[in-house]
Homo-oligomer: A and B are copies of this chain.
Amino acid sequence: MENRKTQIIDLALKLIREKGYVAISYDDLSKVLGVTKASIHYHFEKKEDLGVAVTERVLQNLQDFSSFITNSNLTVEEKINLFLERQIVLSDGGICPVSSLQSDYESLPEQVRQKVQEISQLEITIIKNILKETIKEGRAEEIESFAFVIVSCLKGAIQYERVLGMPILPQAINEITRLLKG
């Protein structure tokens, strides 16, 4: 069942955003899906295989977003807003999957690590390319630094938001928007 495979990836992604890659088990997955552990092992022989599938999904989503932004006729402001608001969606019901995987980085299997690297790099590239349009006169290093600030800030804010139970991400986004205008 190809659908079951998708279902497992969906659930794994959700649980990784809640508890992290290390903390989730085939038992967690099988109980929620109402199947046996062995059934999950059929679709993803090793946990590493599941990790690769999940990170490929995350990378694919990001690549799709990147293409959409690049091929769109949106203004720079609209592109930035989309990028920022995407983080709100991605943080619903957990932390950002990228942050979760970054935290577990040292414990990740090699193939999964490489995917996380690709994803992290692409996130920065996307916002860097958007910023290039807005600050045409800006020096390359300044654009890069600002891209680092934006991406880092979004990810960090989601962490504090979950722990403190306060709307920190929206406030951080407001502040970033203000800084970009001013």
Binding site for B on A (CB under 8 A): 18-20, 22-23, 94-95, 99-100, 102-107, 116-117, 120-121, 124, 141, 144-146, 148-149, 151-157, 159-160, 162-164, 168, 171-172, 174-176, 179
**How many monomers of this chain does the complex have?**
2
B18, B95, B149: the one within 8 Å of A172 (CB): B149
- Say yes or no: A157 contacts B163, CB within 8 Å: no
Q: A100-B103, A103-B103, A162-B102 are in contact. Are A156 and B151 (CB under 8 A)?
A: yes
Residues of B within 8 A of A102 (CB): 159-160, 162-163
Those 6 A-B pairs whose CB atoms lie nearest each other, nearest first: A152-B156, A103-B103, A156-B156, A155-B156, A152-B157, A153-B153
- How many angstroms from the CA of A42 to the CA of B25 in the assembled complex? 29
Q: A117-B163, A149-B175, A164-B121 are in contact. Are A107 and B23 (CB under 8 A)?
A: yes
- Say yes or no: B107 contacts A19, CB within 8 Å: yes
- Say yes or no: A172 contacts B159, CB within 8 Å: no
B22, B141, B151: the one within 8 Å of A20 (CB): B22
**Closest-CB distance, A75 to chain B (whole angstroms):** 23
Residues of B within 8 A of A23 (CB): 22, 104, 106-107
